Structure 1
Amino acid sequence: MKIGFSSRVAVSTCALCVAGLLGLTPAVAAADGADAGGPERQRAAAADPSVLHRAGTQVQRRAGAPRVPSVSALAWVVADADSGAVLAAHDAHRKLPPASTLKTLFALTVLPLLPGGVRHKVDAGELAGMGAGSSRVGVAEGRTYRVADLWHGVFLNSGNDAVRVLAELSGGWRTTAARMQAKARSLGALDTKVLSPDGYDTPGQVSSAYDLAVFGRAGLRSPDFARYCATVEARFPGGGRWSYPIRNTNRLLTGADGVARYPGLIGVKNGYTSKAGHTLVAAARKGGRTLVVTVMNPRAGGGLAVYEETRALLDWGFAAAGRVEPVGSLDALRTRPRPGPEAVPAAAAAAPVTKGPGWAETWAIMAAAGLGGGSVALALRARSRRPRS
């Protein structure tokens, strides 16, 4: 008797080991980047977190600092991606529909679970349930795709069809939403409520400019995420050996529809729904500094205003760097690692972080996740070689 199992079950089987790794990721990243940002990080950490919960624009300019530009968005944030310092914000924690910018959290959650080279044949059930008017990249039933192809569909075309398939491969729609919610909490993104992983308008689904900046910053620390969100063009499988070009819809990245490309832009994700309006998380690098800006729902200027308002805030952020005091930190609400069962001697505290309390458990979970990921890859490849009925 031959016992088989689906790729969906294979992925779910290693979910526990990978979930352990995902839960520890923020702590590991924080430890690895502890020195990034230097004094600015320290000043940001010292800022009162309640400031960003206040209504209106929050900024602390020093003498000679440029004035914050006037923009119409309901909420926005300008932050330093290295130090996490929030340079200025407007209604940072206002809960609003995020549209497809929520796909940044989807990618943060699911990317580590699925090897990009795995091939998968789509069945009809995986495409069921998409909302009316959903953006699509053209995923078709019965067609085989690499996981990397599907990620191109997510990042470039904001394809809800690609999100559906990836979510099914990683455990299912509801399981993915629950994992996204847990990931958001671990990153300190406490305004976000996930109900539809693709960002489709769903009653009660919200995020905030602060949370989206947290997701964008975390994404830039992932090589896969950073590569996908910076991709301008790719080819998407169309059947047989035929493929067709797809192009990133982030106009600041591509310079399309009369929007000038922003120099130094490195991603991240744009979105639009009728309830959310236009939303954008953008990151740019200039002069050794990387900024992440979130703009949610401009109220004036038409459909391209989100790009021009983001441009104005990026320009301000680079000009104001070093001339404003942080009004908060993107790390302020992040889950802190729990202390070990014993007090840490001062000498041990000064030792390299790999010798600190809790790292044995961290490496054990990372090893388990690696073994689980390898098992998933082998299982999926074996499945893809078997004839399908």
Structure 2
Amino acid sequence: MRATRRAAAVAAWGVLIASAALARTHQPEVAAAAAAYLVIDADSGTVLAEHDAHRRWPPASMTKMMTVLLAMERVQDRTLSLDEPVRTSAWASRIGGSQVYLAAGETFPLGELLKAIMIASANDAAVAVAEHIAGSSAAFVDLMNARAKALGLADTTYQSPHGLPPGKGQTADMTSAHDLAVLARELMKFPEVMRWAGTPAAGFRNDTLQMSNTNHLVRTYAGATGLKTGYYHESGFSVTATATRNDLSLIAVVLGVPTKPGCFAEAARLMNEAFAGYRMVAAARRAAVVSEVPVAGGTDDRVKALATSDLLVLVKRAEDRGIVVEARVPRLLQAPVRRSQPLGDVVIRRGDQELGKVTVVADRDVEATGWLSWLWNRALSGRTTHSDAR
């Protein structure tokens, strides 16, 4: 009997221990203090939260964001193509760290290597791309620093295309949370980059190697869209993270956190606070129909008024009462109407305070009919004759 009770007590104690261990396993990670951070609205660049945003800090593998930007800008201007072959040098194959194990002489399309950089943070791919563009890593670093200067990244100095820790006698790459946020805004202009950056996992070398995204937020954070992580011992864990919810897109840069889980938790905390405190009012979208305007004396009885650009206004949730969006267009147009003819504006305001506006234009031509058409054609004919006389 005593043996039975003893066995039951041991079993119960084991269940308690197991339950406690399970509870610890599923507890959310606690955000850790960062050396610096910055959160901005990706559309406007408005700063939503910051701490020591210009503090210079080693970006580690986030250095590769500039490597990818330089490559994609050359793809954009058609100097390069994502399909063109890139040959791996012996030096690139031996670079070490995170890699996709390129062999000397091995060739891959540029797009595949850029994808490997964004997903797997592949150092060998970064060096191969750098050498393909500039002939050597050193020459490519000169391009990196020139582009940083052009972007106004005053806190940034590059020493490598990959961001590995410096060797003896070498100098580390340096940047800041501010500069990384500016760089992220540039990268977000390229849909291919954001597609790679937001991919949780992908295959490489005919799927014989599986790449897992180093940015865990793309698997765990609602609305996460990318972008890039960085780590080595001296720099700590860092991330440039992007996320979108309900038309509000954020960039959060977190630098120098002691642990990887703490780094992702801090980025998530900062973005949660920004999403809770702000919202984006999408008053108009480029080429979207804002209203329809009646037309008198024409071949059509109305035209559509189209916004010429996006009209997005960031507002604090605590101050968003009284926001009004209105289309200021004529009640009636007289034919003729010309395609892209300005018709008025879409305005977003709070009371009498105008927060933003965008021009709206006609979506098509509407010719005049009857005597109005005769007058219009006569006026055009006279204008042409007068022009010829000069």
Name the CA distance, whole Å, in 2 between partners of 1:324 and 1:89: 19
- The separation in 1 between residues aligned to 2:132 and 2:32, in whole angstroms, is 41
Partner residue of 1:292 out of 227, 248, 251 = 251
**Alignment partner of 2:260: what SS?**
coil
Pick from 245, 252, 275: which aligns with 2:210?
Answer: 245
How far 1:184 sits from its partner (Å)?
1.3
Could you say if the C-alpha distance between residues 83 and 242 of structure 1 is closer, same or farther in structure 2, counting changes exceeding 3 Å?
A: closer
Give 1:324 shift: 8.8
The one-letter code sitting in structure 1 at the alignment partner of 2:251 is: V
Secondary structure in 1 matching 2:181 = helix
Matching residue of 1:193: 157
Ranges in structure 1 where 5+ consecutive residues have no aligned partner: 1-68, 255-260, 326-351, 353-389
TM-score scaled by length of structure 2: 0.59
Indicate if the aligned counterparts of 2:239 and 2:253 stay in contact, CA closer than 8 A. yes
- Is 2:179 the partner of 1:211? yes
**Residues 1:231 and 2:199 are matched in the alignment:** yes
Supply the AA of the counterpart residue of 1:80: D
2:132 corresponds to 1:169: yes
Please state if 1:127 is matched with 2:93.
yes
Q: SS at the partner of 1:92?
A: coil
What's the CA shift string for 1:175-206, capped at 9, x where partnerless? 21111111112222110000011011232421
Offset at 1:77?
0.1
Distance 1:93 1:118, change over 3 A: same
Q: Secondary structure at 2:203's aligned position in 1?
A: strand
Match status 1:79 vs 2:40 = yes
Contact 1:92 1:210 in 2 (8 A): yes
Consecutive aligned runs of 4 or more in structure 1 exceeding 6 Å deviation: none
Q: Distance in 1 between matches of 2:107 and 2:69?
A: 24
* Conserved 8 A contact 2:92-2:125: no
**Correspondence 1:304 to 2:304:** no
The whole-number CA distance in structure 1 between the counterparts of 2:105 and 2:54 is: 43
Stretch of structure 1 that moved more, 273-282 or 133-142: 133-142
Q: Does 1:277 align with 2:245?
A: no
Partner of 1:220: 188
Number of paired residues?
A: 244
Query: For the Cα contact (< 8 Å) 2:88–2:106, is it kept in 1?
Result: yes
**After superposition, where does 1:55-94 map in structure 2 within 5 Å?**
71-94=32-55
1:144 deviation in Å?
2.3
Shift of 1:146: 1.3
Asked if 1 retains the 8 angstrom alpha-carbon contact of 2:87 and 2:107, the reply is yes
Deviates more, 1:198-207 or 1:209-218: 198-207
Structure 1 residues 70 and 159: alpha-carbon distance in aligned structure 2, compared to 1, 3 A threshold: closer
Match of 1:170, SS state, is helix
2:9 maps to: none
Q: Please give the alpha-carbon distance, in whole angstroms, between the structure 2 residues aligned to 1:204 and 1:104.
A: 16
> 2:32–2:263: 8 Å Cα contact kept in structure 1?
no
Identity, in percent, stands at 32
CA distance, structure 2, for counterparts of residue 242 and residue 263 of structure 1: 28
Task: For residue 297 of structure 1, give the secondary structure of its aligned residue in structure 2.
Answer: strand
Compared CA separation, residues 73 and 242, structure 1 to 2 (3 A): closer
Tell me the equivalent position of 2:277: 320
- Encode CA deviations 1:289-328: one digit per residue, 9 max, x unaligned: 10000000124xx321110000000001111213399xxx
**TM-superposed deviation, 1:227:** 2.0
Cα distance, 1:245 vs structure 2 = 2.0
Tell me how far 1:126 sits from its aligned partner. Answer: 4.1
Distance 1:224 1:105 in 2: 15
Change (3 A) 1:165 1:310: same
Structure 2 spans left out of the alignment, 5+ residues: 1-29, 75-79, 279-314, 319-358, 360-390
Alpha carbons 1:181, 1:194 under 8 Å: kept:
yes
Higher helix proportion, which one? 1
Quote the offset at 1:125 in angstroms: 4.2
CA distance in structure 1 between the aligned counterparts of 2:182 and 2:87, rounded to whole angstroms: 34
In the TM superposition, residue 153 of structure 1 has moved relative to its aligned partner by 1.4
| Corresponding letter in the other structure for 1:146 | P
